[in-house]
């Protein structure tokens, strides 16, 4: 292992798909440098979280004000490797079956500043500005609607060291085994 590999950031992330009357819950993220994108709620699983689903439940509550009481999944997993940027990401995405609470942007990290259930036409437009490793698997699931028994895996190789000049290569397929957690 090289010194650069040892310094590589490794993130374990979870995402939540919440739908209400055909609309998908999306959060607006303010990134460093002022960039804005929309995604489903979720985030990095903290060392203090009991497990991935408790971390996802915490993230959704923090970002949206909603307390999810039942999950199904994972629906899909995403592995993204960005060697030039120095990070690896492992994400599992689950579908919320039940929740309670009032919708509000409540992110203690200050990243999420808006939240809403977006109908399909608005949803598709908002998702055009998010990263391909977020947009593509979600769009695939929205088109085909498979359950956890047909979960899929998506793998991305990201080259480049500037966010505006990244080259992203995609590989996907059926989810077989546990791809591991970086």
Going residue by residue through the chain (182 aa), what tens digit of pLDDT does each one get? 555 555 789 999 999 999 999 999 999 999 877 889 999 999 999 999 999 999 999 999 999 999 999 999 999 999 999 999 999 999 999 999 999 999 999 889 889 999 999 999 999 999 998 899 999 999 999 999 999 999 999 999 999 887 778 888 887 654 443 333 33
Beta strands in 18-146 (DSSP E): 19-20, 23-30, 36-39, 42-44, 66-82, 87-101, 112-118
Tokens linked to 68 = 């999810």
Residue 87, CA distances (Å) to 42, 44, 79 in order: 18, 13, 11
For the whole model, what pTM was predicted? 0.88
d(CA 64, CA 71): 16
The domain locations on the chain are 3-174
Classify residue 21 as left (phi > 0), alpha (psi -120 to 50) or beta: left
CATH class of the domain whose range is 3-174: alpha beta
**pLDDT attached to residue 177:** 38
As a whole number of angstroms, the distance between CA 49 and CA 58 comes to 9
> Cα angle vertex 45, ends 15, 3, to 5°?
115
CB neighbour class for 143 (10 Å; exposed up to 12, middle 13-18, buried from 19): exposed
Residues 13 and 42 sit within 8 Å (Cβ to Cβ)? yes
């Amino acid at each position: 292992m090289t010194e650069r590999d040892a310094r590589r950031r490794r993130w374990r992330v979870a995402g939540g798909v919440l739908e209400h009357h055909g609309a998908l819950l999306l959060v607006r993220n303010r990134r460093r440098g002022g960039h804005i994108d929309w995604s489903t709620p979720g985030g990095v699983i903290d060392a203090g979280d009991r497990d991935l689903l408790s971390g996802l439940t915490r993230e959704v509550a923090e970002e949206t004000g909603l307390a999810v009481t039942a999950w199904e999944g994972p629906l899909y997993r995403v592995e993204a490797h960005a060697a030039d940027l120095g990070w690896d990401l492992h994400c599992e995405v689950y579908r919320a079956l039940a929740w309670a609470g009032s919708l509000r942007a409540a992110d203690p990290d200050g990243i999420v500043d808006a939240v809403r259930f977006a109908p399909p036409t608005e949803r598709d437009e908002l998702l055009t500005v998010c990263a391909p490793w977020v947009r593509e698997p979600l769009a695939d699931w929205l088109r085909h609607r498979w359950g956890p028994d047909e979960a899929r895996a998506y793998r991305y190789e990201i080259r480049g060291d500037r966010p505006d000049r990244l080259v992203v290569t995609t590989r996907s397929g059926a989810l077989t085994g546990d791809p591991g957690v970086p």
